[in-house]
A and B are shown apart, each in its own frame.
Chain A
Amino acid sequence: MRIKNEKFIFWVLFLICLGFSFVVVNKILLPISKDVSLIKQEYFNKVDMRNKLVSTREFVYSLIGMYNKAENIEEVDLALPNYPKIYEVIVLIKTMAKDSLVDVYNFTFSDYISDGVGVVNVNFEVEGKYEEVKNLINEIGTEIRLMDIGFVKMEKKGNLIKGQINLNTYFKN
């Protein structure tokens, strides 16, 4: 009788162990193993991101070094301002025209964004002697504010040249 009871108890314990194992596997082991693989992936992604940021930080360090050492860094702003600064374009063209002894008038402006760069398209008319107009065009090409001539049209009117100049100047969008 005692042996029969012992046998029964072992059977019950066996079944309890089996049931408990089943519960632990389904409710704890499988979900946590899934979580571990997910968190592992997240960790590696973050490590990748950190490594990229570390190289970015190194790059920014070197940029700051260059920035601190650079002379006339403000000329970058003059070459490529943060907004169109059309007033500056008018003053520059008028000054160059005055220096080149030509007359400039009838300005038209339009601005747009092209490949991430802001472009101001300027059209104006010019009147003067050929050499002087040519001089103005040369001056425009060497101006610190970036200006590229799109087209030049010249017409002979007596001793003078009457022309139309189209140029693009830029700003950081």
Chain B
Amino acid sequence: MKRDENLILRTSSDNFIKYIFYIAFYILIFICLFSVGYYLIYNTYVKKINIVDQEIMEIENFVNTSKSKRAIEYYSKIVLISDIFKTRKSLTNIFSLIEKNTHYDVVFKEFEIVDNGEVYITGYCRTEEVCAQALLLFERMEESEYVSLDSIKKEGNTNLFKMYIKLNNF
């Protein structure tokens, strides 16, 4: 009976080391399979990247053809022109605006227009009252933002005035 017990003990100890070995072996197999899987995935991505690179090259070659370049150049010019038009200011309207609102008894000596809507006028008016009326006319313009009369100087029979007008929407 004692002999049998020893046999059982020995057999279970042998099995234990076998099980441990099998587990280690399966883990190794599992790790190897995982590595192979990763390697295959890596290769798949390499192939995919090659395909995408080729597509990118084809598109770049197409964009770099002379016809495409010419079309792109014209497009960029049109964009620039439209940008320039957005900030463009027409001074020709100022002429008609000032002409329309100038007092009939006032004569301009100097006239300066700047593209930010500033107008500097030096002119002659018969009397100070006429100057005041001229100023009032400019002030009443819808387009005027600010109007100032800088000076009125007597010059013989007439008066020399200096005026500043700031037009809005410029």
Contacts and interface: CB of A to CB of B under 8 A. Distances in A.
A98 interface: no
Contacts of A54: 59
Contact of B111 (A10, A17, A154): A154
Given A3-B14, A50-B55, A146-B84, A141 B92 contact: yes
Interface stretch (A25-33, A87-95, A103-111, A120-128): A25-33
B60 A24 contact: no
A148 B70 CA distance: 27
B35 A24 contact: yes
A10 B21 contact: yes
B75 A53 contact: no
Given A3-B10, A150-B114, A156-B109, A60 B63 contact: yes
A11 interface: yes
A151 B17 contact: no
Contact of A148 (B27, B63, B88): B88
Interface in B109-140: 109-115
A101 interface: no
B77 to A, nearest CB: 5
Given A29-B31, A60-B63, A148-B89, A80 B114 contact: no
A21 B59 contact: no
Contacts of B45: 36, 39-40, 42-43
A172 B115 contact: no
B42 interface: yes
A115 B157 CA distance: 52
Contact of A29 (B34, B48, B56, B92): B34
Contact of A79 (B62, B67, B81, B114): B81
Contacts of A86: none
Contact of A50 (B10, B56, B75): B56
A20 B28 contact: yes
Contacts of A155: 109-111
Nearest to B60: A53
A113 interface: no
Interface in B50-79: 52-53, 55-56, 59-60, 62-63, 67-68, 70-72, 74-78
Contact of A24 (B28, B46, B92): B28
25 contacts: A3-B14, A7-B14, A29-B31, A35-B42, A36-B38, A36-B42, A46-B52, A50-B59, A53-B63, A54-B59, A60-B71, A64-B68, A67-B67, A67-B71, A76-B81, A80-B80, A137-B91, A141-B91, A141-B92, A148-B89, A151-B113, A151-B114, A152-B112, A154-B112, A172-B77
The 8 A-B residue pairs with the shortest CB-CB distance, nearest first, are A17-B24, A63-B71, A67-B71, A14-B21, A53-B59, A153-B112, A39-B45, A32-B38
